[in-house]
Structure 1
């Protein structure tokens, strides 16, 4: 390669580069150019990123930076950014979405190191656009916990959020996640998006029970984005709320009754708890 064929180097700093989530054709021209011009690439798995760079015809030093990276690894990258252009990629999609990259960005900004972000593929956004669920307001909450109680606690915490909820999930845990959603967030429409941008891409919507039955008969593969529609927008008046609370109080403790009615109506659980205490005293 002649000197005139070499891409011009980038200015020093951190470059956040989104990469394809399945279909290699989704790499942007700007991402390809940045990867070709940077000095090194920080990545989750050097094998995954190495495969992408070979596909693009690019050869760069690869430095591992993943969930197990510590302060020493981060400092090495920060030191390099003062004099070099370092690209940060994840195994797929936009970095910092459920990975430790935000710590690197935070410390780079604190150190006065330039940070540039290149937009590109993002599984949560793609799943949201496919699902048909309300997209004017949504909350991305990462992975649901693996343990049953912790999973339910997170769903309870988010029950009153009047937005579409977006989670990452794994195929082996999908059934338990759908079961918990059906119990904690009854009446919600749910979507399961999987194998996004790939040959067997699928986005299926329905009730948690319907989806659980389908995926029990057709075990899913690949990575999954799980979406839960917002609570019903019907206005619940004070009399309706009281009636629901009285019915719940017949079999549940005060706190459980308040939580149950909050899930059904989207009303504030603390307000319902206070009202339930009043109704118990009548």
Structure 2
């Protein structure tokens, strides 16, 4: 993870929480008191975001000491010790919630990704992909957490791959016309993925030699038929309301990729607790 990708988010989150006055509760209660605290997991899942977690405390007070007891990618169970934090009580308590928000969000994504990856493997060989359905400004962090969970990043944005979706195709007139316009503009500079809604679309896209075909909200029977039509070339990506309850049967159809927006847009935050150690 690159600091330049998360530090502006850390700064903005702290400014939102502390404003100009800071933590008025802790400031009234503590002056020079030191505080030792231990971070515990309260959930089962995959840890992600420890670097950002530590950065929040150090941004508030560079003298705060954070010792990580677990690394990103490790599986956690309730009660697991994740980190210790030592510093001025006001500093630790001022940073606590923002640090936990980042860690909980990213660990929730990693946990969701791992669940999909594990369940898909029980049905077939499909690789789990994320999407662009991320919180504005948080894409780099969210996609980092997806990778920690064992899934694979799809395109990072609109700038690094051509994806012809229904609106593009309908406005262009057909898949063939849309692909022709893209190739006229960009030649082979970008990979081309085409969203297909019917098996006729699949046959048309395959004949054009596109790089990836997306099967949009197709039935399992149509997915299997598309696999038979393409025979492995081009690779097929299944998409559309696929979650941990349906991913195994989708993987079993023989598709190469399964993309899921739920990994990032409907994630449940992982629960952690930072508890003060009282001598």
Q: Considering the TM-score relative to the shorter chain, is it more than 0.5? A: no
How high is the TM-score relative to the length of structure 1? 0.30
Higher relative contact order (CA closer than 8 Å, sequence separation 6+): 2
